[in-house]
Structure 1
Amino acid sequence: MNAIQPLPDLLISQIAAGEVVERPASALKELLENSLDAGATEVTVQLFQGGVKLVRVADNGAGISGEDLPLALARHATSKIRTLEDLQNVPSLGFRGEALASIASVSRLALVSRSAGDKHAWRIEAEAGRFTPPEPAAFAQGTAVEMRDLYFNTPARRKFLKTEATEFAHCESVFKRIALSRPSVGFTLQHNGTVRSHLRTADARLRIAAVLGDEFSQASVFVDDQAADLRLWGMAALPAYSRSSGDAQYFFVNGRFVRDKLVAHALREAYRDILHLDRHPAFVLFLEINGGGVDVNVHPSKTEVRFRDPRALHQFIFHTVDKALAMPHLTGGAAVPVAGKLPEFTRKAAGEVSLAPPAYSRQDAIPFASAAPQIKAAQPQAFYQVLFGSDSNAGTRQTGYQAGINGQSAFMKPEGTVREPEIPPLGFALAQLLGVYILSQNERGLLIVDMHAAHERILYEKLKSALDNHTLSMQPLLIPAAFRADSQDIATAEENSAVLHDIGFEISPFSPVMLAVRAVPAALKDADVVTLARDVLNEIREFGGSQVLVSRRNELLATMACHGAIRANRSLSIPEMNALLREMEITERSGQCNHGRPTWFEISRTDLDKMFMRGR
């Protein structure tokens, strides 16, 4: 017997399925792309049990004739390319001719289709690579593909699938990407018999708002530029809409959603000077490029591409987005073009994808209200009474430490005041500067304290200690804070309820598209609850619940502490400032915030004398 044997066709298809059909969402992507390539204007998706039990995609496209149905399920059979030249300039989303064959090898598949010239529809079924002969069926023009019981014949692969909620979240992400790429196509998504999304045909702006929400649309700028055979258009969010993860980043090349390191780097560079390193930009951008300038035949999933001139493309993307973000709206007062129409994909003959010209008008723009924050200084009456010699409380004078705590300066009292011999290391507060810094005086001189950075470190250390000692208390909210959430956040909250409870949160579904925060850590009760919950869920979703409590614990607690810390431009009283200084003195590593920045500087009396040339 020969050592080298040819593999059976079924095994070949199952091997290919390992690359093409990683999970139900992978199959859904292939089926949706086939519908768009067929020229469909209405697509309906039905899912059961997250797509594991059933994925059904029905469209009103061109359909498949009865004689072509067996070939549609054959390996490497396609109507989309004929020659190598076609492959190098492929205009369609699918072209390998292996998706349906791979899906049919690991599921129970049924395909019903009717082309324009047929009197009735035809149906074919496949199970584990075996096909039934086509037979007549009742169906309107178009195609419907049903994939049931994914991996029923490969149980080892089925074990790697996640929960129903997680698999549905992945399917919904694929649905959103496809829906964003084709605003001129109507889409409907059903899960377990319930309609989860219904998107009517619209222009690109309305489709983006429908998928990502009005908040994204209103906080974004219009991008549109062209150079040689390149064009980039779409919407890029302002830094105020930045995210803690890259879950709102959609980049399309000739209508195809892609993930590319070159593109990601160019966009990151465009946001570099206006976005904190820990935040991620949000955008929906479409790149038009000549088919010969990009190779989409890199990976079976077709989400990776290779560009012929990567350096020029990098510069084009960077300068286009950078220029859009550098408009006057970033400095306040200018109009933000969010109400104008974006270009739409339209389909020409032979499947060629092109774009209609944009119709943006400045008259449609919505101005942002941008008022500069007012800077206030804390000015306690008792402090100024002592400072300027008004001594109505002479009979009840206080000693140094007590005076500092109660809002009076221990170093500005009239003569005869008894001073406590021991002065705290960070001294006593004098005033608040620019809404950000605390000015304090100790025995050596003047201290300048960054109140947010200092408070952040204090909260961080308290959270670490409470978590280590299992004493992290929860603060129930009188009125739960409800917010809109995508399926992945809802699935994360449901699957990691124990982890959330361990770190002081109670987050539960409020509706199919909303979550409710019912309790938060007591130390963070004054934080922005919704933003805090979003960031915590993003950390858990990205790294997993077990990793968040082990290797990523400190990063998560630092995120929580940042949300709970005092914000800039909050006016503090002298007692509040002194209380913060006292907390710093008993907190470990209070000299630096969680990000490594200093929390305070000291200017000694000697340095002050040098500045003013005293003693010379």
Structure 2
Amino acid sequence: MAKIKVLSEEIASKIAAGEVVQRPESVVKELIENSIDAGARSIDVEVKDAGKSFIRITDDGAGMNEEDALLAFERHATSKIETYQDLENVATLGFRGEALYSIAAVSQIELKTKTAAEDAAVYLRVDGGRQEEVSRTAHGTGTTVIVKNLFYNTPARRNFMKANPTEFRHIYQTVSRYAIAFPEIEFRLQSGDEVVLRAKSDTVRGRLDEVFGERFTDSLVAFEEDYDHLKVSGFLGKPEYTKRTRGEQFLFLNKRYVLSKAINHAAFSAYENLIDKGDFPFFAIFIEMPPNEVDVNVHPSKLEVKFRDERSIYGAIRSATRSALVKSDLVPEMAIAPDSGRFVSRPTTESSRGGIVPVSFNSNPGQHGGSSGRYINDERIADAVDPLFSLRFPQNRSTSAESAGSEGGLLEDTGSIIYQLHNKYIISQISTGLLVIDQHAAHERVIYERTLKRFSEHGQNTQQLLFPISINLDPADFTVVEETIPDLNLMGFSLKTFSGSTVVLDGVPVDLKPGRESTILTEIIEDYKRDNDLRLTPREKLCKTYACKAAVKAGDYLTIEEMESLIDQLFEAEVPYVCPHGRPVLVKIPLLELDKKFGRI
């Protein structure tokens, strides 16, 4: 007797349904996609018991006649494609013809649908995949689908569903994604008797505010770039607003919400050095490209995609997002707390979002302040008796107009005075108040970008030492040197290896201060071994470590000329706002805040 048996239609349908319908959210997703493909301009979603016992989707789309309604519950029955060529040019959200068939196999489902040409609507009732009733009823043009008792006939699947808050969170996230991607369609989500989402705005920006809170988009950077056969647009969260968990990264391909590790990595890499490791920024990225350049038929869920030329897509996303962040004003502002007179960080939006905090400005970038920000100065600052500024005669600032103009007037040539505060910060007058610069972070950024450019310029960046220095290393460190010596030489070091444990240093980069030649190489090696940031290339890691070690330190006295030179070089940098480790370089104190504190307004 044969051991291999053909499964019954009932068992096969339930197995197939498991690929499409994994939880109540899967039902909501598939039915919303059907409504969108039907040309709906209004979609209502109502759930009870987090969708476990009741889901109703109502739309005002084209509807179906009786023949199409009956066929819709057959497996692989669809109006979206007919030939293999259609599959290569899918322009609709649905196309596999599995949604209604799979949902009906594991639930009790009712369908009411009517076309504009018919007087009465079609009513269908299907129980566990079996057609129970076909009749006529009253209904407006469009379709209503009611799904009851999901997984009632597969108890094992029902037991694997999560608690109601978790299941409803998945439903809310899915409805929100479609509301963002299709601002031309009104969405309404109701849970029990409560309407939890009403999306009516006809713009993506407006939809983001409706989903995430009023004035949420004040904390975003909009961008749009056109490439050959590709358009990239969207919104990026400013670096000071991040979360410690993933979940608010949205990637839409031809308005379809998709998952792509490569494209997500491209977007995250645009935030390189702008956010702390372990922080996750918000972004909503829209990609428009020909359907035949991407394969959406990877999985029944239609979330995973494969690009024909993933490398070019990656480059376009990284370039567009990086350019948008670089061009935006990312200098954080400080406000003055009304009760204490102390400086606190001020968010760029007044709306409060759970779990999102401004990036702290203290010396430990791994910790965050609360929603009101982190205090900068000491509690007893009012009683301080030390001079506020370093003792020196003030001199006029004379930055070039070109440098000022490139930053949107941030450092206008107004003849302002610059000071060094406690040999740590540089303070300069700007048109809107005061600009405070961390001298170490600023110099670190300048050296980092300058060193990165050396890899492509191949210029003469080495100053020879009068007396070469021999450095003995353990085998592990010596291996690191052997691995990185080509890049170290391009950075400006001149190194030779001997006897498996000795390195001879006879040249160092031109911007390295004399006196540290014997220690900086070992420090670079140690930091390079500890740096596990996968977002950085080996060259970027080396440059980051070298910049930190070579930059001026807090406590170093700077002359007026040195400060002016540092400021000029900083605003020639590609990203002048943060150091390579992600700490802020600049902070603005608006004149308006000072006027408020002194009672002028």
Task: Tell me the TM-score range normalised by the shorter chain.
Answer: 0.5 to 0.7
Query: Structure 1 565/147 Cα, relative in aligned 2: closer, same or farther at 3 Å?
Result: closer
- Residue 2 of structure 1 and its aligned partner are, at CA, apart by 3.2
Letter in 2 for 1:150: L
Q: Secondary structure at the match of 2:226?
A: strand
**1:146 aligned residue:** 146
1:92 aligns with 2:92: yes
Q: Secondary structure at the match of 1:224?
A: strand
Tell me the alpha carbon deviations over residues 21-61 of structure 1, each in whole angstroms, 9 at most, x when there is no partner: 11101110000000000000011111000000101100000
**2:476 aligned residue:** none
Query: Structure 1 485/321 Cα, relative in aligned 2: closer, same or farther at 3 Å?
Result: closer
- Residue 102 of structure 1 and its aligned partner are, at CA, apart by 0.7
> 2: CA distance between counterparts of 1:201 and 1:42?
12
Letter in 2 for 1:300: P
> 2: CA distance between counterparts of 1:57 and 1:318?
38
5+ residue gaps, structure 1: 333-369, 375-434, 436-482, 490-529, 536-557, 578-594, 597-607, 609-616
Letter in 2 for 1:570: N
**1:72 aligned residue:** 72
Structure 1 window deviating more from structure 2 (158-167 vs 250-259): it is 158-167
Tell me the alpha carbon deviations over residues 477-507 of structure 1, each in whole angstroms, 9 at most, x when there is no partner: xxxxxx9668xx9xxxxxxxxxxxxxxxxxx
Q: Secondary structure at the match of 1:92?
A: coil
**1:117 aligned residue:** 117
Equivalent residue runs for 1:61-210 within 5 Å: 61-210=61-210
**2:538 aligned residue:** none
**1:285 aligned residue:** 285
- Residue 559 of structure 1 and its aligned partner are, at CA, apart by 7.6
**1:343 aligned residue:** none
Query: Structure 1 248/215 Cα, relative in aligned 2: closer, same or farther at 3 Å?
Result: farther
- Aligned residues of 1:373 and 1:569 also touching (Cα < 8 A): no
> 1: CA distance between counterparts of 2:373 and 2:226?
45
**2:376 aligned residue:** 569
5+ residue gaps, structure 2: 338-342, 344-350, 385-530, 533-554, 556-601
Letter in 1 for 2:324: A
Query: Structure 1 127/300 Cα, relative in aligned 2: closer, same or farther at 3 Å?
Result: same
- Residue 213 of structure 1 and its aligned partner are, at CA, apart by 2.2
> 2: CA distance between counterparts of 1:235 and 1:268?
13
Letter in 2 for 1:208: L
- Aligned residues of 1:230 and 1:288 also touching (Cα < 8 A): yes
> 2: CA distance between counterparts of 1:145 and 1:564?
43
**2:233 aligned residue:** 233
Query: Structure 1 77/278 Cα, relative in aligned 2: closer, same or farther at 3 Å?
Result: same
- Residue 185 of structure 1 and its aligned partner are, at CA, apart by 0.4
Q: Secondary structure at the match of 2:126?
A: strand
1:38 aligns with 2:38: yes
Query: CA RMSD, aligned part only?
Result: 3.3
Q: Secondary structure at the match of 2:281?
A: coil
**2:598 aligned residue:** none
- Residue 250 of structure 1 and its aligned partner are, at CA, apart by 1.1
Q: Aligned residue pairs: how many?
A: 373
- Residue 273 of structure 1 and its aligned partner are, at CA, apart by 2.2
Q: TM-score, normalised by structure 2?
A: 0.58
> 2: CA distance between counterparts of 1:143 and 1:71?
15
- Aligned residues of 1:25 and 1:170 also touching (Cα < 8 A): yes
**2:442 aligned residue:** none
> 1: CA distance between counterparts of 2:369 and 2:227?
42
> 1: CA distance between counterparts of 2:274 and 2:175?
31
Q: Secondary structure at the match of 1:57?
A: strand
Equivalent residue runs for 1:46-65 within 5 Å: 46-65=46-65
- Aligned residues of 2:357 and 2:369 also touching (Cα < 8 A): no
**1:329 aligned residue:** 329
- Aligned residues of 1:63 and 1:141 also touching (Cα < 8 A): yes
Tell me the alpha carbon deviations over residues 188-236 of structure 1, each in whole angstroms, 9 at most, x when there is no partner: 1111122112121412221121112234300111110010011011111
- Aligned residues of 2:213 and 2:353 also touching (Cα < 8 A): no
> 2: CA distance between counterparts of 1:119 and 1:171?
34
> 2: CA distance between counterparts of 1:484 and 1:269?
26
> 2: CA distance between counterparts of 1:194 and 1:567?
37
Query: Structure 1 35/565 Cα, relative in aligned 2: closer, same or farther at 3 Å?
Result: closer
Q: Secondary structure at the match of 1:27?
A: helix
- Aligned residues of 1:216 and 1:237 also touching (Cα < 8 A): no
Query: Structure 1 371/201 Cα, relative in aligned 2: closer, same or farther at 3 Å?
Result: closer
> 1: CA distance between counterparts of 2:269 and 2:214?
26
- Residue 263 of structure 1 and its aligned partner are, at CA, apart by 0.7
> 2: CA distance between counterparts of 1:278 and 1:215?
26
